[in-house]
Amino acid sequence: MAIILDGKKLRDKILEDLHIKISSYDKKPKLVVILVGDDAASQIYVGNKQKCAQKIGITSEVINYPSDTEEKIIIDKINELNNDGSVHAILVQLPLPEHISKENIINAISPQKDVDGFTPYNFGKLFSGEVPCVYPCTPKGILLLLDEYGIDIEGKHAVVVGRSNIVGRPMSQMLLNRNATVTVCHSYTKNLAQITKTADILISAVGKNIIKGEMLKSDCVVVDVGIFKDESGKLRGDVDFDSSSKIASYISPVPGGVGPMTIASLMLNTVELFEKTL
């Protein structure tokens, strides 16, 4: 039976350490979150981020805009925050309403305050094997979790399923930068099971229940990034836990695996950006 990669436990440890560190500073890190529209899931995510920040001593502010706000108004606000010395980290909650260009908004954020690591500058640094201002939160959290359990990455075959800018792409680069041999799969990949069967480390970020135990190599490490609700409203991951946990040596659960690590990484990134200004 696989060992559980416990993201909640590691998150709590990281947040406790950050709390102690932040209390030792006279100045406090400040995170500003921009939320456009009234998407229910986004409101919950932003609320959770704000609660977590406040709990550990990060000053956090949420700026709400109605869904019909013009792109320029948001870009002007980002420019104002870029020039505000009391703000260390800026996050624009995605998705944005359709009339707003996600690229234009992300491009407006100063790389030094880009807490998600999504600006072309930070992405470019990551993809050229250099050190960005911060690493994207979800892949960063996954590597912290693997490191916590002493899982070797160097020389391993890592298969990443999904190639989004939020998870799959930066994850594959971060694994490559750690000397894994990386295969990236997506919706056009043929014979997915043949590829996943060769993975020492399998990271699935799709949002559909597509990974079953029979698709895994014995004793592999499985990280389940997916979160979605099935027909009965139950929270699910990409990976069939029952069959997969019998084959894998380590597996992350949903919930309680990658999700808590993403929020821990956001807090770590906020503090890292703050510390660069001291």
- Binding residues for ligand NAP, rule: CB under 6 A, are 138, 161-164, 166-168, 185-189, 192, 205-208, 210, 225-228, 258-259, 262
At which residue do the structure tokens 């954020």 appear? 109
Q: Are 115 and 270 in contact (CB under 8 A)?
A: yes
Question: From the CB of 246, what's the least distance to ligand NAP, in Å?
Answer: 22
Known catalytic residue at 93: yes
Question: From the CB of 48, what's the least distance to ligand NAP, in Å?
Answer: 11
Known catalytic residue at 54: no
- Rounded CA-CA distance 99/71 in Å is 8
Closest to ligand NAP by CB, 111 or 162: 162
Residue 172 dihedral angles phi and psi, to the nearest 5°: -65, -40
Question: From the CB of 257, what's the least distance to ligand NAP, in Å?
Answer: 7
- Rounded CA-CA distance 17/143 in Å is 18
**The dihedral of CA 228, 231, 235, 237: what is its sign?**
negative
Q: Looking at this protein, which amino acid is placed at residue 96?
A: L
Closest to ligand NAP by CB, 58 or 264: 264
Check 30, 77, 113, 116 and give the catalytic one.
Answer: 116
Closest to ligand NAP by CB, 186 or 276: 186
Closest to ligand NAP by CB, 87 or 224: 224
Burial (CB count <10 Å: 0-12, 13-18, 19+), residue 39: middle
CA nearest neighbour of 271 among 35, 12, 51, 20: 20
Check 30, 77, 93, 114 and give the catalytic one.
Answer: 93
Question: From the CB of 42, what's the least distance to ligand NAP, in Å?
Answer: 12
Check 6, 30, 49, 173 and give the catalytic one.
Answer: 49
Q: Which residues are catalytic, by number?
A: 49, 93, 116
